[in-house]
C-alpha cells in the first residue's frame, strides 16, 4: 500500500469537491419549479434541463476514468474546478432554456470529473478500508443536498432570489480548487499495484462486473431520480415537499457516517439487499400516503437509498480490484446515464398524466393543481418496480457471493 502523508488533507478537499456536486443537486431541486415559472418551461423541458446534469456526469466520469491513470488525479480535479465555476456563473446569468441547458451541462461535467478523480483517490489512500471510507466520502453528497435544500427553504422565506442561492456554491468551489492546487497526489491503486491495462480490460468483461453495471442502473434511478424530482412530484400533495428531500438526505448523512459497523455486520452484499427492501417500502409510502405519513416514507426511503451508491462502488473495488479506476467510474457513469434517460422519459410521462387528469376544457389553476396532485404519486408508483426487482437481484447476489466465499475457503484448505 502506498504511503500518503497528506491523505487526511486530500480526503477533506475531496469532501469539499463532492459538497459542491451535491449542492448543485439540492439547490436545483429546490428552484426547479421556479425556473419553470420564470422561463415558462413545461415539465418535459424541466426534465431535460435536470437530466442534462446527468448527461454531463457520465460523459465526464467515463472519459475521466480512462485518462486518470495517465494524466493523474490532480489534473482532473483542476478541470472539475474550471467547469464548476463556469457552470455556476452561467446559471446565475441564464436567460432561458438553452442557457440553463448549457450551464447545467457544465456543472454535470464538473460533477462527473470530481467523481472520476475522487473515487479512485479515496480507494487508493484508504486501500485497507475502501467501502467504509467511500461511504464516509459520499455522505457529503446527501449532506450537501440537506444544506442546499435548507438554504433554498430559508432564503426563499427571506425573499432572497435563486441567483444568490446558486452563487453560494462558488464559496466551497474556490476553497477546494485552492486546496487541491497545493497538495501532492499518489498514483492510482491500479498503477501502484502493477496491474496492466490488458488485465484491467479483461476484468471489465467479467460477468460479475457486467451484472453490477446493470444493477447500478436501478440503484442510481431509485436514489437520484426520486431525490431530484420529489419537490415537483409531491408539491401539490404536501406543503413541505422540499423538506421531504431534506429529511431523506439527512437520514442518508447519518447512515453513511455509521457505515463502518453496518458494512462489517452485514457485508456489502447484505447491505445492498437490505437497502433495496427499505427503498421499495419507502417509495411505496411516498406514492400512497399524505400528511405525516409522507415524512415516515421519506425516513424509510432515506434509510434504503443511504448505502446504494458508495457500497456499489466499494463492492466493485473490493471484489473486482483489477478493474481499477475505470471500473469504479464506469459504474458511476452507468448510473448517471440511466438516471438521465429515465428523468427525460418520466418528465414527459408526468406531463401526459397531468393532461389526462384535467377535466375536459378546464385549464384553471385549481384544476391543474388537482391534476398534478394525482399525477405525482403515479410517477413514484411506476418507479417502485425498480427497487422491488433490485431486492430479488441482490438476494441472488448475496447467495452467489456466499457460495464463492465458501468455495475459496475449501480451495485454500
The model's pLDDT over 99-136, given as tens digits with 9 standing for 90+, comes to: 889 988 999 899 989 999 999 999 889 988 888 999 99
Predicted TM-score of the model (pTM): 0.82
The CATH number covering residue 41 comes to 1.20.1250.20
Each as own residue / partner, the long-range contacts of residues 98-102 (CB below 8 Å, 24 or more positions apart, any chain) are: 100/35, 100/39, 100/49, 101/48, 101/49, 101/52
Q: What is the pLDDT of residues 276-311, one digit of tens each?
A: 999 999 999 998 887 888 889 999 999 999 999 999
Q: Are 279 and 387 in contact (CB under 8 A)?
A: yes
- Report the pLDDT averaged over residues 384-405: 96
Band (pLDDT 50/70/90 cuts) for residue 6 is confident
d(CA 383, CA 168): 33
Asked whether the predicted pLDDT for residue 254 surpasses 70, the reply is yes
- Report the pLDDT averaged over residues 319-336: 90
**Half-sphere exposure (CA, 13 Å, Cβ side) for 216?**
27
- Structural domain contains residue 87: yes
Residue 389 is part of which domain span?
A: 7-407
- Structural domain contains residue 174: yes
What number of helices (H) and strands (E) belong to the chain? 19, 0
- Structural domain contains residue 2: no
Band (pLDDT 50/70/90 cuts) for residue 81 is very high
Question: How many distinct structural domains can be found in the chain?
Answer: 1
Amino acid at each position: 500500500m502506498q504511503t500518503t502523508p497528506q491523505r487526511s488533507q486530500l480526503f477533506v478537499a475531496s469532501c469539499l469537491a463532492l459538497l459542491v456536486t451535491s449542492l448543485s443537486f439540492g439547490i436545483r431541486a429546490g428552484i426547479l419549479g421556479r425556473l419553470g415559472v420564470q422561463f415558462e418551461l413545461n415539465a418535459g423541458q424541466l426534465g431535460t434541463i435536470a437530466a442534462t446534469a446527468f448527461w454531463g456526469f457520465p460523459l465526464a466520469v467515463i472519459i475521466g476514468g480512462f485518462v486518470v491513470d495517465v494524466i493523474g488525479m490532480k489534473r482532473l480535479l483542476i478541470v472539475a474546478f474550471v467547469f464548476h465555476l463556469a457552470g455556476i456563473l452561467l446559471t446565475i446569468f441564464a436567460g432561458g432554456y438553452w442557457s440553463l441547458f448549457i450551464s447545467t451541462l457544465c456543472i454535470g461535467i464538473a460533477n462527473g470529473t470530481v467523481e472520476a478523480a475522487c473515487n479512485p483517490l479515496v480507494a487508493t489512500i484508504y486501500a485497507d478500508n475502501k467501502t467504509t471510507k467511500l461511504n464516509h466520502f459520499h455522505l457529503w453528497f446527501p449532506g450537501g443536498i440537506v444544506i442546499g435544500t435548507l438554504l433554498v427553504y430559508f432564503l426563499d422565506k427571506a425573499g432572497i432570489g435563486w441567483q444568490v442561492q446558486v452563487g453560494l456554491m462558488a464559496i466551497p468551489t474556490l476553497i477546494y480548487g485552492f486546496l487541491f492546487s497545493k497538495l501532492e497526489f499518489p498514483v492510482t491503486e491500479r498503477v501502484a499495484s502493477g496491474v496492466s491495462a490488458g488485465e484491467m480490460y479483461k476484468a471489465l468483461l467479467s460477468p460479475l462486473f457486467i451484472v453490477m453495471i446493470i444493477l447500478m442502473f436501478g440503484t442510481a434511478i431509485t436514489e437520484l431520480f426520486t431525490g431530484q424530482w420529489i419537490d415537483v412530484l409531491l408539491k401539490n400533495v404536501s406543503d413541505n415537499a422540499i423538506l421531504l428531500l431534506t429529511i431523506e438526505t439527512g437520514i442518508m448523512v447519518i447512515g453513511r457516517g455509521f457505515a463502518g459497523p453496518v458494512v462489517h455486520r452485514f457485508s456489502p452484499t447484505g447491505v445492498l439487499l437490505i437497502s433495496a427492501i427499505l427503498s421499495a417500502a419507502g417509495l411505496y409510502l411516498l406514492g400512497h400516503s399524505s400528511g405525516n405519513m409522507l415524512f415516515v416514507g421519506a425516513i424509510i426511503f432515506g434509510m434504503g437509498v443511504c448505502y446504494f451508491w458508495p457500497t456499489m462502488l466499494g463492492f466493485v473495488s473490493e471484489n473486482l480490484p483489477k478493474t481499477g479506476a475505470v471500473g469504479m467510474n464506469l459504474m458511476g457513469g452507468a448510473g448517471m446515464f440511466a438516471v438521465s434517460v429515465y428523468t427525460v422519459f418520466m418528465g414527459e410521462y408526468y406531463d401526459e398524466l397531468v393532461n389526462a387528469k384535467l377535466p375536459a376544457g378546464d385549464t384553471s389553476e385549481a384544476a391543474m393543481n388537482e391534476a398534478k396532485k394525482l399525477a405525482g404519486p403515479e410517477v413514484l408508483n411506476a418507479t417502485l418496480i425498480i427497487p422491488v426487482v433490485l431486492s430479488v437481484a441482490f438476494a441472488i447476489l448475496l447467495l452467489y457471493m456466499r457460495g464463492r466465499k465458501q468455495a475459496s475457503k475449501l480451495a485454500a484448505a
